[in-house]
Structure 1
Amino acid sequence: MSRAAGAGEALLEVDSVAKSYGALDVLTAVHLSVPAGQALGIVGPNGAGKSTLLSVINGTERASAGTVRFAGRDVTAVGADARARAGMGRTFQIPRPFTHLTVFENALAGATAGAGLHGRAADDRALEALVLADMLDVANTPAGALPLLGRKRLELARALATDPQLLLLDEIAGGLTEAECDSLVETIRTLHASGVTIIWIEHVVRALLAVVERLVCLASGVIVADGEPDAVMRSDEVQAVYLGGGL
């Protein structure tokens, strides 16, 4: 990937962000600063606001209050398309491929619509994304014929085709077998080692712990723990959130 921010600098800053739908408060005064080059995992029970937070970060949803800054710029009022072109890439919990198009054509859509590229530059970016997502050998396969792991990898490839500085992953390991999960984790670990900053929401905690160096727990729209992954998982706050249930 060609874009990179200085390691250690704050690439993303979420300041006092809240999100409400009518009388329903989903996020409440969330503060989060993510340095360039970091892999951050987010855990929390269903309904904690994790996917909503990702949507507010990438502009799919607008914050009801607070600010979002990306690469030093206030993007709170900027739409998802502009944020993608500025360097945010996102996968969704449920893969959404263009089933009538090939794997390559799906990646090309990410390069054109997401990154604003055309012609040879778009083709090259799409091919690079397929290599990074380990999809090059199925480039001409119709997306609708892919198994679940293939659809998950294609979600990743389309996000990578935007050449992101910040990669947002939403439950990308969900529904996979243990072997499939391990294969995908290795791909994500390689991406992170290349310098891509990652925020990853996941219920498959062992997958997160294999990659991230920082873990946040979100509960009822509030961050209740933030720090070194093992310490967060052992913390009283996180144990209380999951009392009577598993991660």
Structure 2
Amino acid sequence: MNIRIGAVPLFAIIAVAIAVYAVGFASSYDLRVLTVSGIYVIVVLGYQFIFGYAGALSLAQGAFFGIGAYVTGILGSQFGWQFTATFPLSILVPALLAATIALPVLRLQSHYFALATLALGQGILLIAINWEGVTGGANGLPGVPGIVIFDIAIPRGLALLAFVWGLAAAAAALAWWIMHGLYGLSFTVMRETPLAADALGIDRAALRFVAFVLSAAYGGAAGALFVHTIRVISPEVLGFAIMVTVLTMTVIGGRTQIVGAVIGAILLIHLPEWFRGLEEYYLVAMGVVLLLVILFAPDGAAAYFGRRPTKAEDKSRPDIVPIDLRPGRKAGFEIKGLTKSYGGNRALDGVDLTVAPGEIVGLIGPNGSGKTTLANLLTGLDRPDGGRITLEGEDITGLPAHRIARLGIGRTFQTPQLAPSLSLVDAVAAAHAGNRNSDLTTAREDAFALLAGFDLTARADQLCRSQPHGVKRSVDLAAALARRPSIIVLDEPAAGLTQDEAATLAGVVRTYAANGAAVLVIDHDMTFLLPLAQRLVCLDAGQVIAHGLPDEVVEEAAVIAAYFGAPVISPASAP
């Protein structure tokens, strides 16, 4: 059961609790521990960008923390620089390092990315140990000054505690501002459904770059505060234990919830202190508490508190404004001599295909004939070996999927690609993420109107993960239409739909085509496709074996032999 507390009230409760404890009950040692908790809040907030929002397991956050610490520690202890000069550099240096290595490192996937970032951290640790003339080597450098801002010293104790937690609050506010709105939705789609991100025009590489640089900047800021708190710099700030601590805090608190950074940092820093009175049993007690958090709150302790409905989830909706579902511009596409092989298998062999504005073309063929391969090549999810694809005369062959989507080509998938943790309205609104002229409120209003066209307004605030197959298919199409593409590619849109759902979907497709869109429909359901398509193209073994009017194509002997195996109904006899 979730305790329904909004993020702002929960932050307020935590802030009041910290203030009361610090002023009325904490010893000088307790204040120092609480100060360190605030520092870790900042580094965890940064780690949430790359590990939580971007979904990439970076093991370099400890390194960025250590770099920030060394920049401030060296400049402060060796050159007498004040905090106002060293702190910005502690943010800038790790951020620049992250930006420099991002291009090669972010191309790596999964565990390769993790290993590369781990190697980065270990390399920097070795530099710190061996560059004795600058870093002090294994012994480090003593004499790091306290924080002085414009000649005003901030002493340890309540003053330093208030300063650190004030910066933590500012860091949390900045993180909320960055991740709030369409930008945050684009991160969710990228993390949970990468294919959908590509098809919706979301530049995944750019998002990962931003997340990596932000994580480094936050890590460097936290490292600077840490070294001013302990007043000494040593290679321990680059140790892998720091990285493990940050990772654990993020998992325990919640990967994608800002308040989770606060909860995770406080829990992991204070649990050893709270249980230290148990002497040799305190590690067991701490382990039990952490295990309970993981078991009963797998999405992090912050998720246990739930969240209040956002404005988009408010059940009291304004009247639905009918939308004019028209493509952004009228455009068709032409495919010439398209080829693609996978190993020794020729998936496409010299395919020609043209779809004009306002036209609905059906693409049929037996399993393995190359239909989905053609859709993937057209929408940029794969690169052709040969041939040419043009959009109104512009060559788009081999362009990245997100660029093709932004040029006006949308698509759906055989298996609907919807971020499970998003509501239906946000899954559709996320399609506006690449539109600089749109905001979250406008995007949600448009998404709600699109869902109304599929009679899904009653489900708009429900999560995608809990929807039946037919609903997911409709939402998948609504998301594809949200960008108002000139060309829409539908990959088996009627599969698994009821007769009513298929009729609704067909009506939306007809309307969109009538308003000037070029539509390519891939489907095996002839009762759905034949009345819908104006032309039919049949593929077999990667080649076009027939094309023309639907009732003529389905009667060709080659088509019957390759695809149907028996006579089929004609459009005239279709219900």
Q: Equivalent residue for 1:226?
A: 547
Q: Equivalent residue for 1:98?
A: 419
Q: Aligned match of 1:66 in 367, 382, 387?
A: 387
Q: Aligned match of 1:180 in 467, 486, 501?
A: 501
Q: Equivalent residue for 1:165?
A: 486
Q: Equivalent residue for 2:409?
A: 88
Q: Equivalent residue for 2:287?
A: none
Whether 2:447 is the aligned partner of 1:126: answer yes
Q: Equivalent residue for 2:515?
A: 194
What CA deviation, in whole Å up to 9, does each residue of 1:65-115 have, x standing for no partner? Answer: 0111012210003111011111111000001211111111101111214x5
Distance 2:358 2:327 in 1: 14
Distance 1:183 1:2 in 2: 19
When residues 117 and 173 of structure 1 are mapped into structure 2, their CA distance, relative to the original with a 3 A threshold, is: farther
Distance 1:93 1:188 in 2: 17
Contact conserved, 1:132 with 1:191, CA < 8 A, in 2? Answer: no
> What's the offset of the Cα at 1:117?
5.3
Count of aligned residue pairs for this structure pair: 242
Distance 1:86 1:203 in 2: 29
Contact conserved, 2:333 with 2:392, CA < 8 A, in 1? Answer: yes
When residues 171 and 117 of structure 1 are mapped into structure 2, their CA distance, relative to the original with a 3 A threshold, is: farther
% identical aligned pairs? 33
Distance 1:5 1:145 in 2: 36
> What's the offset of the Cα at 1:188?
2.2
Distance 1:2 1:125 in 2: 14
Whether 2:541 is the aligned partner of 1:216: answer no
What CA deviation, in whole Å up to 9, does each residue of 1:109-148 have, x standing for no partner? Answer: 11214x5653155345434433444433422121122211
Find the residue that maps to 1:78 and give its secondary structure.
coil
Contact conserved, 2:454 with 2:504, CA < 8 A, in 1? Answer: no
Contact conserved, 1:89 with 1:164, CA < 8 A, in 2? Answer: yes
> What's the offset of the Cα at 1:235?
1.0
Find the residue that maps to 2:513 and give its secondary structure.
helix
Distance 2:410 2:454 in 1: 14
Larger % of helix: which?
Answer: 2
When residues 226 and 117 of structure 1 are mapped into structure 2, their CA distance, relative to the original with a 3 A threshold, is: farther
Find the residue that maps to 1:89 and give its secondary structure.
strand
**Tell me, which stretches of 5 or more residues in structure 2 are unaligned?**
1-325, 569-575
Q: What is the 5 A alignment of 1:47-66?
A: 47-66=368-387
Distance 1:192 1:4 in 2: 12
Contact conserved, 2:340 with 2:349, CA < 8 A, in 1? Answer: yes
Find the residue that maps to 1:32 and give its secondary structure.
strand
Distance 1:195 1:133 in 2: 20
> What's the offset of the Cα at 1:219?
0.5
Larger Cα-atom Rg: 2
Paired residue type of 1:41: G
What CA deviation, in whole Å up to 9, does each residue of 1:205-246 have, x standing for no partner? Answer: 111112110000000000000100000001122122136468
Larger % of strand: which?
Answer: 1
Contact conserved, 1:102 with 1:140, CA < 8 A, in 2? Answer: yes
Contact conserved, 1:30 with 1:221, CA < 8 A, in 2? Answer: yes
Paired residue type of 1:30: V
Q: Equivalent residue for 1:203?
A: 524
Find the residue that maps to 2:399 and give its secondary structure.
coil
**Tell me, which stretches of 5 or more residues in structure 1 are unaligned?**
none
Q: Equivalent residue for 1:142?
A: 463
Distance 2:564 2:454 in 1: 37
Paired residue type of 1:189: R
The CA RMSD measured in Å over matched residues stands at 2.0
Contact conserved, 2:555 with 2:567, CA < 8 A, in 1? Answer: no
What TM-score results when the alignment is normalised by the length of structure 1?
Answer: 0.90
Find the residue that maps to 1:210 and give its secondary structure.
helix
Contact conserved, 1:41 with 1:199, CA < 8 A, in 2? Answer: yes
Q: Equivalent residue for 2:432?
A: 111
Contact conserved, 1:128 with 1:161, CA < 8 A, in 2? Answer: no
Find the residue that maps to 1:172 and give its secondary structure.
coil
Distance 1:15 1:125 in 2: 36
When residues 90 and 170 of structure 1 are mapped into structure 2, their CA distance, relative to the original with a 3 A threshold, is: same
Distance 2:546 2:347 in 1: 17
What CA deviation, in whole Å up to 9, does each residue of 1:183-204 have, x standing for no partner? Answer: 3223322332333221000000
Paired residue type of 2:438: H
Q: What is the 5 A alignment of 1:228-243?
A: 228-242=549-563
What TM-score results when the alignment is normalised by the length of structure 2?
Answer: 0.40
Paired residue type of 1:157: A
Find the residue that maps to 2:349 and give its secondary structure.
strand
Question: Which structure's relative contact order is higher, taking Cα pairs within 8 Å and 6+ residues apart?
Answer: 1
